[in-house]
Chain A
Amino acid sequence: MIRKFTLTEWEMRGRRMEQLATRMGFVQRRPLDRQIGKSRAKRALLQRLYGPTGQA
């Protein structure tokens, strides 16, 4: 079963999500050094691209 959202529906839902996340004060960053699942190759590539934290 696939639930489908048009661009408009997803953006409307997204605005509600953003409003709620802002109201709840959620700001989440996850530096690369705390991500245990990433391969060494991916870490290296992300750090080369985005700096030491590998965080986009």
Chain B
Amino acid sequence: MDQPAKPDFKKRERIAARVSAAFKARGYQLVQYGGATVEAYTRGRYATSDVDLGFIDLSPPLEIRAQVMEALGCVRGTRLYLLDDVVVDLGGQAELLSPRLVEIETAEGKLLLEAPEESLVQRILMSIYPQRDEDQKQAALMLMIQALAGNLAIDWNEVDRLAALPGFKIQAEVAAYREEGKKRLESSD
């Protein structure tokens, strides 16, 4: 099969907003999480290939999900859809740890994003567990530096709360990344 033009992160944002609007019209609220959200918060410096979306509160039955995606022009599926050359992974109810979501406007409507605090803490965890991961470390540092520079609206108390959750317990790592981020920012001035 011919490979399509590779979509950039802005296109992925627009597609996610398009899908969100279609479900909102049926009474369902989507939120984007995972790598594509890190991509949005780092302006494409962390590259992902797809868009992960999940539902807040109420998740529609499979039939409605399929109807909505078909109406957008997708081939019928259960979870993975291809929309305008972008892979959309339509999950069930999103399991978010932070309520501090971010809503952005795109050229195709509004898109709800996972909290940047959650993106940051998740990436720091993924940089050390299940094993050290340099890609995730870079992603975590990029988020940290954007936050320290004031480009991401981060609530540090929320970061600390998430880092202390039983599934994380990475307060020391968060502090270390924060220090490294500060040093890198200072040295780049």
Do A and B form a real pair?
yes
User: Once bound together, how far apart are the Cα atoms of A28 and B46, in whole Å?
Assistant: 5
A21 touching B80, Cβ below 8 Å: no
B104 touching A10, Cβ below 8 Å: yes
Residues 21 to 49 of chain A near chain B (Cβ within 8 Å): 21, 23-24, 26-30, 32, 34-36, 41-42, 45-46, 48-49
Among A2, A26, A36, point to the contact of B142 (Cβ < 8 A). Answer: A26
Chain A residues whose C-beta falls within 8 Å of the C-beta of B41 in the assembled complex:
17
Among B19-27, B60-68, B144-152, B171-179, the one that faces the other chain is B144-152
A28 touching B135, Cβ below 8 Å: yes
Q: What is the CB-to-nearest-CB distance from A47 to chain B, in angstroms, rounded to a whole number?
A: 10
Chain A residues whose C-beta falls within 8 Å of the C-beta of B184 in the assembled complex:
24
Q: Does B87 contact A (CB under 8 A)?
A: yes
Q: Could you give, for residues 27-51 of chain B, a 1 whenever the CB lies within 8 Å of some chain A CB and a 0 otherwise? A: 0000000010000011101111110
Q: What is the CB-to-nearest-CB distance from B88 to chain A, in angstroms, rounded to a whole number?
A: 11
Chain A residues whose C-beta falls within 8 Å of the C-beta of B145 in the assembled complex:
20, 24
Chain A residues whose C-beta falls within 8 Å of the C-beta of B49 in the assembled complex:
32, 46, 50, 54-56
Chain B residues whose C-beta falls within 8 Å of the C-beta of A5 in the assembled complex:
102-105
User: Once bound together, how far apart are the Cα atoms of A41 and B81, in whole Å?
Assistant: 11
Given contacts A23-B188, A49-B85, contact A56 B105 (CB under 8 A): no
Among A14, A28, A35, A46, point to the contact of B87 (Cβ < 8 A). Answer: A46
Among A21, A30, A49, point to the contact of B82 (Cβ < 8 A). Answer: A49
Q: What is the CB-to-nearest-CB distance from A32 to chain B, in angstroms, rounded to a whole number?
A: 7
Q: What is the CB-to-nearest-CB distance from B75 to chain A, in angstroms, rounded to a whole number?
A: 11
Select from chain B the residue with minimum beta-carbon distance to A46: B49
Select from chain A the residue with minimum beta-carbon distance to B149: A20
User: Once bound together, how far apart are the Cα atoms of A7 and B105, in whole Å?
Assistant: 5
Chain A residues whose C-beta falls within 8 Å of the C-beta of B80 in the assembled complex:
41-42, 45
User: Once bound together, how far apart are the Cα atoms of A6 and B184, in whole Å?
Assistant: 30
A interface, CB within 8 angstroms of B: 1-7, 10, 13-14, 16-18, 20-21, 23-24, 26-30, 32, 34-36, 41-42, 45-46, 48-51, 54-56
Q: Mind listing 10 A-B residue pairs with CB under 8 Å?
A: A1-B101, A4-B104, A7-B104, A28-B45, A28-B47, A49-B3, A49-B87, A55-B6, A56-B8, A56-B12
